[in-house]
Amino acid sequence: MIAWLRTLLFRVVFYSISVPIVVSVPISALFGQQAVIVHAYVWTGFHRWCARVLLGIKIRTEGPRPTRPVLYAAKHQSMFEALELQGMLDGPAMVLKEELAKIPAWGYAARRYGALVIDRAASAKALRQMMREGKAAKDIGRSVLIFPEGTRVLPGDQPPLKSGFAGLYRALGMPTVPIAIDSGLVWPKKGAKRAGTITFRFGEAIPPGLPREEIDARVHAAINALDTPVAG
């Protein structure tokens, strides 16, 4: 019951304040993309505050974070990390599925932020577009963030990496830093959120230029390093 009350309070507070934050992005956009990124920092900071104060969720980070632009490949178990990583990683260009980019106001904000939008079917044309946009982000000194399994998964689920990851890895020629995340243990896809600690474990940087089988295997193992199935 307490978890549900906290979850409802979080939804009311976070989403009611998020609406004016998101719809005001066009104002920030008048001052360029960097202003939109700063705008996003405000939103992600507010999200972290709500998670900590209203839900009792803390964050623990492990491993060194890169000091230069890289390709981040992260586990995806909840929407928590989709927001949290924007602030934690200093505004990376995130690969985003097309359905989210079609949400009114939010989709506009994501595109002005510099998200790399790709359709779920991952057609050859869409993959080429993602790679071009990824290179453009790299050229201006931004890191790129992708959830290589393609979508949110339950704790214990370890699907193979989508082909788009290998293509982006090859096209960018950047070191890849895998991030293991166990958010699904306290932030389930459905149901009440629970108090606890979410760990972000930064793995060892993987050099560019490896064969697809090797980069896929190394990233898959690293992003699942914290994975624990939920009993029942």
So what's the pLDDT on residue 59?
97
So what's the pLDDT on residue 209?
96
* DSSP run (H or E) holding 98: helix 98-101
Give the residue from 94, 200, 211 showing the smallest Cα distance to 142: 94
Is 41 a member of any domain? no
Is 24 a member of any domain? no
So what's the pLDDT on residue 228?
66
CATH code at position 140: 3.40.1130.10
Is 38 a member of any domain? no
Under DSSP, the state recorded for 132 is H
Indicate the pTM of the whole model. 0.92
So what's the pLDDT on residue 121?
64
How many independent structural domains does the chain possess? Answer: 1
Is 44 a member of any domain? no
So what's the pLDDT on residue 231?
45
Per-10-residue mean pLDDT of the chain, 232 residues long, equals: 94 96 92 93 96 97 94 97 94 88 81 84 76 92 95 93 93 97 94 96 97 97 83 43
So what's the pLDDT on residue 105?
79
Is 14 a member of any domain? no
So what's the pLDDT on residue 43?
94
Q: Are 114 and 33 in contact (CB under 8 A)?
A: yes
The parent domain of residue 153 ranges over 58-223
